[in-house]
Amino acid sequence: MLQQTQVKTVIPYFKKFLLNFSTLESLSRSNEKKVLKLWEGLGYYRRARNLLVTSKLLVREHNSKLPKKIIDIKKLPGIGDYTANALLAFIHDQPAIAIDGNVKRVFSRILNKKENELDFYKLIEINKKTLFKERRNSDIVEALMEFGALICKPKEPECLKCNINNICKYFKSDKKFKQIKKIKQKEKSYNIFCYIDKIKNKIALTKKHDLGFLDKFYLPPITETVGTNKIKNWNFHSNFKNFISNKKLNINLYYKFSSKLPLQSQWFSLKENNEFIPSFTKKIFKQISNIN
């Protein structure tokens, strides 16, 4: 849940999730519809699906335990190097470090080298004896993350307060390395077509679209486009920007009143649905709710 999501946003979802699934087994016996409904509004829904599949795999193939080898952990859906190392450290207390942006920045600064000049996994392997003790290895992982977030911050690190400034080459050097600037993401434009049944207060949604990041989710018919255009037989409603799964979208919203259901679509209430509706679609509901 915490992937790309702030703690304060996650807390109510986490509590609700644990109330529904207090054990791995209870989660593994559930289904996608229920899990997605509990996740509704949190975004990045692939995480919810992966979590459910993982719980089933762990119960069925690993005796309800997390494997102890990184190679086995990485076979679980949605788990790459970062999460696998975090799990090894936090759950099995193994000498492993989850390398995120904070950790990379801290190591780069201590060595006063650009991130792309360093092989972080190799660096950790070489310095294993210094970094890890026999027990509480998970503490070093957490400490590094917190240290990067609170002291060795991206901008204006608190070097004078820093307890390791005596070993830090960045602090001591007159020639400080320059961080690589992040490449700005290009935005993509989409036209969204809302068929609205005014009498029943319903909207047509479909799962048949090729938006990989909202794969298998209900959306109004949507197509990729360039800029904003006038489209015959459609009323232009608004243009807005949206971020989904780190992607920047430029949305042109069109609507028409129609009681005829478009192909491969279903009617949904603009108010309340039992079915899971992603927050992006709900945002569209809100946008068009003022149409008369």
**Interface ranges with ligand SF4 (CB under 6 A):** 106, 109-110, 151-152, 157-159, 162, 164-165, 168, 170-171
Question: To the nearest whole angstrom, how small is the minimum distance from the Cβ of residue 2 to ligand SF4?
Answer: 24
Nearer to ligand SF4, 50 or 165 (CB): 165
Question: To the nearest whole angstrom, how small is the minimum distance from the Cβ of residue 167 to ligand SF4?
Answer: 8
> How far is it, in rounded angstroms, from Cα 40 to Cα 42?
6
Question: To the nearest whole angstrom, how small is the minimum distance from the Cβ of residue 158 to ligand SF4?
Answer: 6
Question: To the nearest whole angstrom, how small is the minimum distance from the Cβ of residue 148 to ligand SF4?
Answer: 8
**How many Cβ atoms are within 10 Å of 221's Cβ, its own excluded?**
19
Tokens encoding 25: 């087994």
> How far is it, in rounded angstroms, from Cα 88 to Cα 86?
6
Q: Any idea what DSSP says for residue 213?
A: G
Question: To the nearest whole angstrom, how small is the minimum distance from the Cβ of residue 151 to ligand SF4?
Answer: 5
Nearer to ligand SF4, 18 or 150 (CB): 150
> In the structure, how many helices (H) and strands (E) does the chain have?
12, 6
Nearer to ligand SF4, 102 or 252 (CB): 102
> How far is it, in rounded angstroms, from Cα 180 to Cα 105?
11
Tokens encoding 262: 């478009």
- The secondary structure element, H or E, covering residue 211 is none
Q: Which residue has the tokens 């700005």?
A: 184
Question: To the nearest whole angstrom, how small is the minimum distance from the Cβ of residue 166 to ligand SF4?
Answer: 9
Nearer to ligand SF4, 59 or 111 (CB): 111
Q: Is the CB of residue 195 less than 8 Å from the CB of residue 263?
A: no
- The secondary structure element, H or E, covering residue 35 is helix 32-39
Nearer to ligand SF4, 59 or 164 (CB): 164
Nearer to ligand SF4, 59 or 159 (CB): 159
